[in-house]
Chain A
Amino acid sequence: DVQMTQSPSSLSASVGDRVTITCRASHRISNNLNWYQHKPGKAPKVLIHAASSLQSGVSSRFSGSGSGTDFTLTISSLQPEDFATYYCQESYSLPFTFGPGTKVDIK
């Protein structure tokens, strides 16, 4: 199985801040990496697929980059609705695995 790690596990930020979350895979996974936003009691929402492709309907303040083992999710200007937990997920091989999550809360 591909093991996924994320850093930081949590962060506090203010509205308007630029936020960067990192995801690392235990094996090289090319660009087979997806990012999700998850709010309590809600369904997770895909933001980025294939490492850098913005999902239809998702704000352009979200962007993704990386390939191989190291990936980044960037929120260019944090908005109130962005406070949530963010997960990466590898889609390179079964069983699909998720990172442990990064919780973004209000400073």
Chain B
Amino acid sequence: QLQLQESGPGLVKPSETLSLTCTVSNDSIRRESYYWDWVRQPPGKGLEWIGSIYYTGSTFYNPSLKSRVTISIDTSKNQFSLKVNSVTAADTAVYYCARRVYGGDFFDYWGQGTLVTVSS
């Protein structure tokens, strides 16, 4: 069974960079039929799509965050990563990594999520 696991600091200072990694287990991140995405959920709020990456390195970002977000992939480690620059308290959220099915564009596997708090 495919597993995704987020990792990274749980606390980030305002104006600094949030960095998270998602490790994919039990399947290759090079599968052509899937994208690898990040979704977040601020406390008490709904889900927000952040962006995605294909195994070739092609990326797609939410315009609301595009200027501050970078998603990268390391196929040798079966991992993909998220960086959000210049964070504020509004970036406090549970961050999920997920696999998105090519064509159907639905998320069929998700990580458990990791809470990132932006605070000094």
A58 to B53, CA, bound (A): 27
Check A34/B106 contact, CB under 8 A, given A95-B64, A96-B49, A100-B46. Answer: yes
Main secondary structure of the interface of A (DSSP, over half): loop
Tell me if A87 and B60 are in contact (CB < 8 A).
Answer: no
Tell me if A89 and B106 are in contact (CB < 8 A).
Answer: yes
A101 to B61, CA, bound (A): 23
Q: Report the contact-size class of chain B (Cβ under 8 Å from the partner).
A: 20 to 34
Per-residue A-contact encoding for B45-74, CB less than 8 Å = 1, 0 else: 011110000000000111110000000000
Tell me if A91 and B104 are in contact (CB < 8 A).
Answer: yes
A102 to B64, CA, bound (A): 24
Q: CB of A14 within 8 A of chain B?
A: no
Residues of chain B lying within 8 A (CB to CB) of residue A50: 104, 106
Tell me if B105 and A98 are in contact (CB < 8 A).
Answer: no
| Interface pairs (14), CB distance under 8 Å | A32-B105, A36-B107, A43-B110, A45-B110, A46-B106, A46-B108, A50-B106, A87-B46, A89-B106, A91-B104, A94-B62, A95-B64, A98-B47, A101-B47
Q: Which of A's residues lie within 8 Å of B, judged by CB?
A: 32, 34, 36, 41-46, 49-50, 55, 87, 89, 91, 94-101
